[in-house]
Structure formats: structure tokens, C-alpha cells
Amino acid sequence: MIFNYIKNPSTLIKEESNGNSFWKNFPLLFFKLLAVIFVSGVVYSLISFILDPSSGFSFPDNYANNLKEYVNKMPLAYLWIILIGPAYEEITFRMGLNFERNSFVFSLFMVLFLVTGGTIFPAKFDSQYIVNLIFRVVPLMILYFTVGRKITQKHVSFLKERYYNQIVYLVAIVFSVLHLPNYFPFHLSQLSFYILIMSVFFYISMTLSYIRIKHGLAHAIVFHTSWNLFQMLISR
């Protein structure tokens, strides 16, 4: 299942009757994700304790602090984290994995927008945000009308045939990197922790890609939403 997909994403085939199958697979996929995080945490704790016994078995608490700060300054923070965010991220990162021209190009430009620091849900909607938005959107629009419109289904099909696995892995890596700031500030002494976080988010992204391809985008959003809700419940 999921582990075979991670080894070779191109072997996965979309199921036509995917509704019942998804809900049957849901508990197992969720459990495997929990198991991967648990095992990774245990391994990290043991390695950290061996290298520095004074550290005990603790983890950096940057995420909890950042989450609290985000909730305090962001309007409708929980709505964003649990509902809007998952849909936004799945459309951005994984909608294009069906390798259909329109969805592929849209996802590509959404990823470029995020990579350049863009956001459609600012903590403060003011003139500075509008200026920053313009400076990010205008170049992307120019890029689309000069290059993006020339991308055809033939080009996308070529990428699917030649670089399918690499694109799926690249999506997972970008997804992981863009989630790292949730655990900042970065300290070189905590490098092993950030490697752990990258690995966990890579697995999460591959799980969501698996669901998106096998069951459809809507089911990936449902799983992503459920996972974020679970995180919020255990973080309180």
C-alpha cells in the first residue's frame, strides 16, 4: 500500500469506485501515520539522549509556542488550520498530480506563489499586504501569459511519462520545507530534530499524494482536515 507507493509512486492507479475504499483504508492510513511519527520520535529521543544525556527525552517546544502566537494574532485561526488550510494546500500541492494540463499549471503557479512567500490569508489585511501581494502576483501573471499559456497537455503528459516519481517527490519535499517555519527559530544544535520533522512531513505529503491519486482530491482534503483536527485536539 502506502509504503510501496513511497518506493515507486508511478505504480499507483486511481480507483474508479473510491468512496467506500477510502473509508475502509482511512483508519489504517491514519494509524500508520501515527506509528511513523511515534517510531521517529522514539528514535530521535534515543539518539538525542545518547549524544547528550542531560537533554533527557524532551523535544523542542517551538511548535507549541508558534501555534499559540498564530492563534492569538490570526483571525479565525482554527477555521484556517482545520478547514481552509487543508483545502488550500491540497489544491496547491496535489491537485496537479492528476497531470491534467489545467490543474497541473494552476498547482504549479500556486506553488510558486507560496515559495515566494505569498499568502491569501494574512494575519493583517493592510496596505503593506496589498503591496506585497501585487509584487508577487504581477510577475506570476506575466510568467503565465508569456510561458504558462504555452504549456500544453502534451508537455504535461511528457513530464508524467518521464519524471512522474521525481515530481511527486519534489512536491513532498517542497511541502515539507514550507512547513518547517512552524518549528522555528532554527538552531544548528537541533539539526537532527529538523531532519526528523522533514522526514515526518515528507511521509505525510506522500500519504496525501497516495490518497489524492487513488481516491481523489476531495478525499485527500478530508484526510488532511482530519489530521489537522487531531493535531489541534492533542495540542490543547
pLDDT for the residue numbered 167: 97
Average pLDDT estimate for 124-131: 84
Domain ranges of the chain: 1-235
Is the confidence at residue 235, as pLDDT, over 80?
no
For residue 61, what pLDDT band results from cuts at 50, 70 and 90? Answer: low
- pLDDT higher at 66 or 8: 8
- pLDDT higher at 232 or 93: 93
pLDDT for the residue numbered 109: 95
pLDDT for the residue numbered 18: 53
d(C-alpha 142, C-alpha 165), whole Å: 29
Contact (Cβ atoms closer than 8 angstroms) between residue 77 and residue 66: no
Residue among 35, 58, 29 nearest 46 (CA):
58
pLDDT for the residue numbered 87: 96
Average pLDDT estimate for 207-234: 94
Contact (Cβ atoms closer than 8 angstroms) between residue 198 and residue 177: yes
Report residue 154 as a C-alpha cell: 502534451
Average pLDDT estimate for 122-139: 86
Portion of the chain with pLDDT greater than 70, in percent: 92
Averaged confidence pLDDT in the chain: 88
Is the confidence at residue 121, as pLDDT, over 90?
no
Average pLDDT estimate for 33-61: 76
pLDDT for the residue numbered 57: 54
Largest Cα–Cα separation, the chain: 58
For residue 94, what pLDDT band results from cuts at 50, 70 and 90? Answer: very high
pLDDT for the residue numbered 11: 87
Is the confidence at residue 201, as pLDDT, over 90?
yes
Average pLDDT estimate for 209-213: 95
DSSP the chain: -HHHHHH-GGG----SS-HHHHHHHHHHHHHHHHHHHHHHHHHHHHHHHHH-GGGTT----HHHHHHHHHHHHSTTHHHIIIIIHHHHHHHHHTGGGG--HHHHHHHHHHHHHHHTT--SS-SS-SHHHHHHHHHHHHHHHHHHHHTGGG--HHHHHHHHHHHHHHHHHHHHHHHHHHHGGGGPSP-GGGHHHHHHHHHHHHHHHHHHHHHHHHH-HHHHHHHHHHHHHHHHHHH-
N-terminal to C-terminal alpha carbon distance within the chain? 32
For residue 48, what pLDDT band results from cuts at 50, 70 and 90? Answer: confident
Q: Please, is 54 exposed, middle or buried when counting C-beta atoms within 10 Å of its C-beta (0-12, 13-18, 19+)?
A: exposed
pTM comes to: 0.90
Is the confidence at residue 67, as pLDDT, over 60?
yes
